[in-house]
Amino acid sequence: MSKKYFGTDGIRGRVGDALITPEFVMRLGYAAGRVLTSIDSHLAKGAHPAVLIGKDTRISGYMLEAALEAGLSAAGVDVLLTGPMPTPAVAYLTRALRAQAGIVISASHNPYYDNGIKFFSSLGTKLPDDVEHAIEAALDEPMQVMESARLGKARRIDDAAGRYVEFCKSTFPNQLDLRGLKIVLDCAHGATYHVAPPVFHELGAEIVVIGNHPDGLNINEKVGSTHPQALQETVVKHQADLGIAFDGDGDRVMMVDHEGRLLDGDQLLYIIAAARQQVGLLQGGVAGTLMTNLALEHKLAAMNIPFGRAKVGDRYVLELLNQNNWQLGGENSGHILTLDKHSSGDGIIAALQVLHAVIQTGKTLSELGAGLTLYPQVLINVTTKQKIDLDNALIQDAVKQAEAELKDSGRVLLRASGTEPKIRVMAEGENQVQVKALAQAIADVVNQVAS
């Protein structure tokens, strides 16, 4: 059953549009409070359920935080406020503080004028589809207010940042440190700006930090994992050993070697998998998505490491990992899950796992990344004003023609974005000129159908 409000990563849109308004978000808080807290049956008699709320650094976060707080309080739910905090920090703190749910106000890598709402269960995991359906159903019911004696209260968690910093550090081996490494951190003017620097500094690294001056309007602006040029230039300028870029809410990571070469999520996933296999710590296989580069699948097969593809979205990677009892998975966008370390994708923790591989092997990031040569992959985003049927005969004919030309040396993928009004057209293979031409040909047909 399709969802009315939820996409692949919560509810997201432009601030002021139908969904990202104080009125809707207040009703969402009320509906979520009723549904999420009804799931937890372990509350003491008469105890108020509690929901943790964190946010990134967008100026609209103040407004939406207040609206959520009002809706949750009306539902009889206590609210724990962390202020600006990475999405994975909210997942951790929800578990650590025994809250019934966690909510993040963020639009991740999107510009400042977008925002959204993400939910975590009491276990620190993304909500399953049936719970999201239940919240949507509750949104269609009238909003009522608890009697005054049963209204929820709100309080701030003053030590939230410190708790999360210590948690991140705990995922790095106690007997190792980062002394001798010079690292550039790009915090995207986002939620990691005040937590990532102490993590890496306290583990011993010399750090240079950019993207750590949020003003509410500059999140992801020419910085962060989606705009790595600033990081690449800073790494070279400061002659650093490597660079690490997070996105606005801290659940994605990209890395840069000492020469300024970018390593994406597929390459980082390979480095972690190879290092773990080397010391016998890789449990089972590796989970990717439909967008994972074919070269990673081939490389893992050569290493006798099982590989599986999930739908795009870290929640679906998590589902596949749990189904197979595996621990490691991720997306080429930089969402990386290490379930032996955290219940959710975490940019800081993923970067620490890569650095563990660097220390463990004694090799540079460049040397480790050289073990995987990605196939050329061309992604074209086609903006649409209306919903497009990807089973359209013209589109399918174009796809079949491209697949016939690629044969076994590549593949084609079309999918609708879960967060934006776009059709993503991807082609990959060993010949970049060929895949670029094929992707453009398909995109032209999608444009034709959409017009």
| pLDDT tens-digit series, residues 307-329 | 999 998 888 999 999 999 999 99
Report pLDDT for 36.
Answer: 77
pLDDT band at 419 (very low <50, low <70, confident <90, very high): low
pLDDT band at 48 (very low <50, low <70, confident <90, very high): confident
Say if CB 442 and CB 427 are below 8 A apart: yes
Here the contacts of 384-387 (C-beta below 8 Å, separation 24 or greater) are: 384/421, 384/422, 384/423, 384/446, 384/450, 385/421, 385/450, 386/450, 387/416
Comparison of pLDDT for 387 and 254, the residue scoring more:
254
Would you say domain 264-374 falls under CATH 3.40.120.10? yes
Q: Is the pLDDT of residue 41 over 60?
A: no
Separation of alpha carbons 425 and 157, rounded Å: 43
CATH top-level class of 11-158? alpha beta
Domain extents for the chain? 11-158, 178-261, 264-374, 377-450
pLDDT band at 407 (very low <50, low <70, confident <90, very high): confident
Q: Is the pLDDT of residue 44 over 80?
A: no
Report pLDDT for 1.
Answer: 62
Query: What's the rounded mean pLDDT across residues 42-63?
Result: 87
Separation of alpha carbons 354 and 336, rounded Å: 11
Average pLDDT over the chain reads 93
Q: Is the pLDDT of residue 334 over 60?
A: yes
SS3 content of the chain, % helix, strand, coil (to 5): 40, 20, 40
Q: Is the pLDDT of residue 272 over 80?
A: yes
Separation of alpha carbons 122 and 391, rounded Å: 39
pLDDT band at 451 (very low <50, low <70, confident <90, very high): confident
Q: Is the pLDDT of residue 42 over 70?
A: no
pLDDT band at 439 (very low <50, low <70, confident <90, very high): very high
Query: What's the rounded mean pLDDT across residues 79-91?
Result: 98
Backbone angles phi, psi at 411, to 5 degrees: -155, 165
Residue closest to 187 by CA, chosen among 176, 175, 179, 195:
195
CB atoms within 10 A of CB 330: 28
Backbone angles phi, psi at 337, to 5 degrees: -110, 130
Pairing of strands 410-416, 336-338: unpaired
pLDDT tens by residue, 294-303? 999 999 999 9
Element (H, E) at 343: none
The mean-pLDDT minimum among 26-35, 191-200, 411-420 falls in 411-420
Give the active site residues.
Answer: 108
CATH code for residues 178-261 = 3.40.120.10
Report pLDDT for 40.
Answer: 59
Query: What's the rounded mean pLDDT across residues 140-161?
Result: 94
Report pLDDT for 387.
Answer: 80
CATH fold for domain 377-450: TATA-Binding Protein (3.30.310)
Same fold, 11-158 and 178-261: yes
CB atoms within 10 A of CB 170: 11
Q: What is the pTM of this model?
A: 0.90
Report pLDDT for 46.
Answer: 61
pLDDT band at 214 (very low <50, low <70, confident <90, very high): very high
Instruction: State what percent of residues in the chain have pLDDT above 70.
Output: 98
The mean-pLDDT minimum among 32-36, 196-200, 223-227, 357-361 falls in 32-36
